[in-house]
Amino acid sequence: MRSGRFAVTAELNPPDSADPQAVYDRALVLASVCDAINATDASGANVHMSSVGVCALLTRAGYEPVLQVSCRDRNRIAIQGDLLGAAAMGVRNVLCLSGDGVQAGDQPEAKPVFDLDSITLLATARTLRDEGRFLSGRPLEARPDFFLGAAENPFAPPFEERARRLAKKVEAGAEFIQTQFCFDVPRLASFLRRVRDLGLHHRVAILVGVGPLRSARSAEWIRSHVPGVVIPDEVVRRLRLVPGDRQQEEGKRLCIEIIQQVRELEGVRGVHIMAYRQEELVAEIIEAAGLLPRRKASAVGTAAGVEA
């Protein structure tokens, strides 16, 4: 991002497994075409392998992970400990999230924590890094070296407040932003105009969230059940006009078109690809969107390298 190259990150959906090979298998699909791999932290308030655990495996294999940290499940004591542990394993990139409410997941009886929110979490990580101390004031023996990020959703109301909320996250320490899924490019363009008016595009790298839709039915389910995702009616209609056995291909084509459109918008520094259970499409999407080549082969780890 600092070099000015258009960045590509992708989301690794953590397994419901204690087998590390499940992580390596998913990472191999992404690594050669992405600059970094996000390890989600119980997204949707559903339990999977932990983000810290996935990042530990990814760093062991030579990949560049992005640790997602949600405030929903841990208090400030546990979060600060996890941040130091991740840094000790070589994790440099941290995405600070408030997290979906427990009612969104399959264990709604769980007790939420929310001791911090995304903005105070950013400030906490920056305190560890820049001031070398815990929130209690106790000094660290060695500081973590973090590149700090946050999420933003330009596609949900109140639209006029979104750029100002982004400004608060930048002030708290955000150096990069990954947005929610973009299926409405004009709405994104409007958000970016406000971002530029505030001069934020010079202070933070914005990666626009994109992803392929599997079908019209899948699109309808996502916009009804996944918090924060806005899919316009015209997108669903476009998928419906295609025969069922070709809707996945149409969803991939739509994703490629969106990438090419957002790449032309001032203030966009990259894309973040979220392809839940369609990870095999990520390389095809990145190639078709004209975003290759990415990394040198020698810089990409392999599961075989771990075993060796």
| Number of compact structural domains in the chain | 1
At residue 254, the pLDDT reads 98
Check residue 4 and give its pLDDT: 86
The per-residue pLDDT for 226 is 86
Write out the residue range of the structural domain in which residue 56 sits: 7-307
Residue 200 lies in a domain: yes
3-state secondary structure of 124: helix
pLDDT value, residue 149: 98
User: Would you say residue 301 has pLDDT above 50?
Assistant: no
Q: What is the pLDDT of residues 152-210, one digit of tens each?
A: 999 999 999 999 999 999 999 999 999 999 999 999 999 999 999 999 999 999 999 99
The answer to whether residue 135 sits within a structural domain is yes
pLDDT over threshold 80, residue 144: yes
Residue 298: inside a domain, yes or no? yes
The helix/strand/coil state of 252 is helix
| pLDDT one-digit tens code per residue, 110-136 | 999 999 999 999 999 999 999 999 999
What is the rounded CA–CA span in Å between residue 245 and residue 242? Answer: 8
Per-residue confidence at 308, pLDDT binned at 50, 70, 90?
very low
Check residue 294 and give its pLDDT.
Answer: 63
Query: Has residue 87 got a pLDDT over 60?
Result: yes
Within a domain: 2? no
Distances (CA, A) of 111 to 48, 55, 68, 116, 227: 17, 25, 20, 15, 19
Helix intervals (H) in the chain: 20-31, 51-60, 76-88, 118-126, 159-172, 185-197, 216-225, 233-240, 247-262, 282-288, 303-307
Residue 157 lies in a domain: yes
Residue 268 confidence (pLDDT) above 90: yes
pLDDT digits (tens, 9 = 90+) for 34-67: 999 999 998 888 999 999 999 999 999 999 999 9
Q: Is residue 92 part of a domain?
A: yes
**CATH number for the domain harbouring residue 271:** 3.20.20.220
* Residue 1 counted as domain residue: no
Instruction: Give the mean model confidence (pLDDT) for residues 138-150.
Output: 98
Task: Provide, rounded to the nearest whole percent, the portion of the chain with pLDDT above 90.
Answer: 86
Closest CA to 182 of 245, 235, 250: 235
